[in-house]
Amino acid sequence: MKKLLNIFLVISLFLLPCLGYAADEGKTSQVTAEGVAAVINNDKAFARDKAISDSLRKAIEQAVGTFVQAESVVENYQLISDKILSETKGYINNYQVLQEGEDQGIYRVKIQAVVKLGALENDLAAIGLLQRKMKMPRMMIILKETNMGVESDNVENALIKAFTEKGFNFVDQEQVKKVRERDSAKLAISGDAAAAASIGLELGAEVVIAGSAVSSNAGEITPGSGMLSCQADINAKIIKTDSASILGAESAHSAAPHITATSGGAEALRKAAVSISDKLIKKVADSWSQALASGKTITLVVSKVEFDTLEALQAILKEEVRGVGDVFERSFINDVAKIDVEYKGDGKELAKDLSKRKVEGMKIKVKGYTTNTLDLELVKEQ
């Protein structure tokens, strides 16, 4: 049986492009999909937003086709499954609502969507839609850059230009320059994700690009020519500020000949910046697209909770809150619990849903939230 399954999966992998499931760059598919969400406390606007998000995810799944479900594949064939799924990426280019309304406490939205297969980093319309669905995240760049030993901002300017041309938003970089000499900023530049996240949160950024860029003089290309070989290297990490998690790390190297080291170094840095910007944009866009299509992990920090109540809260999350997948209890110390929830939505959506619910007669108070974290407290009703 295993041998037959193995043969089936291998054949499927090679037939995938013929069946139209491969990520054929630029290929589009128009589909209709229906999303649903529970109406809680008569909040139809909130339910509508959740139903639209649900319909967008289903549109992507329908267009791309989930050929092999990862959880249904035995361990020996996981590599084949991952390869198939990794080559069938889709994203929403645009959509329109065809029909919507409430029916017995459930809000339903039917959409018609245009789904494109392949990479989205060059699709300006899709990036714009993606950013709106992700609540318009703001970017920040903090780099230590030297051109032939002298501080410069060639790479910073080139990266901001590349990102803004694709529609990305940035915090005020003048504020970034004011904190660049802090010890925490130096730690961020050296690769400390927590330090980068801390500065990003302070300045209102959801994503931080932190790293270093340096140019050097490798000497004359040929002895006596007077033409110098100027080299440049850039290393950067992408950090989510609310969780201090690293979305990716990239590097780039470039060279430029010039008769003066400073000018050649600036040109080499610029070329390296163009190269790394494409990689960074792809990493960010892919991360957001994945979160929109498949959901994300949201960390709940719940204070003033007893053990039995914690069990009841987890049962509500698993059984009653639409969009929740798995629930993982990470710790429970001094009446404070940390729970990771796989959720198709963002922190605000989950916070709003939970704020309308009760756990064993206790109200769930939302003390704060970010896109990926919730700070909750259980309080007795007055």
pLDDT number for residue 221: 86
Q: Into how many domains does the chain fold?
A: 3
C-alpha distances (whole Å) from 87 to each of 16, 51, 291 are 9, 27, 17
pLDDT number for residue 114: 84
pTM of the predicted model as reported, rounded to 2 decimal places = 0.62
Asked if residue 125 belongs to a domain, the reply is no
At a CB cut-off of 8 Å and minimum separation 6, what does 364 contact? 313, 354, 355, 357, 358, 376, 377, 378
On whether both 226 and 334 belong to a single domain, the answer is no
C-alpha distances (whole Å) from 274 to each of 139, 144, 162, 225, 379 are 17, 17, 8, 28, 52
Instruction: Point out the residues of the chain with pLDDT beneath 50.
Output: 1-24, 66-88
Asked if residue 130 belongs to a domain, the reply is no
Asked if residue 241 belongs to a domain, the reply is yes
pLDDT number for residue 69: 39
Domain boundary among 259, 293, 327: 293
- Asked if 379 contacts 367 with a C-beta cutoff of 8 angstroms, the reply is no
Asked if residue 25 belongs to a domain, the reply is yes
On whether both 147 and 114 belong to a single domain, the answer is no
Residue 294: both structure tokens together: 């498949």
Task: Provide the residue range defining the domain that includes 259.
Answer: 138-293
On whether both 107 and 199 belong to a single domain, the answer is no
pLDDT number for residue 123: 65
pLDDT number for residue 63: 72
Q: What is the pLDDT of residues 181-209, one digit of tens each?
A: 889 889 999 889 999 999 999 999 999 99
pLDDT number for residue 89: 56
On whether both 167 and 35 belong to a single domain, the answer is no
pLDDT number for residue 382: 64
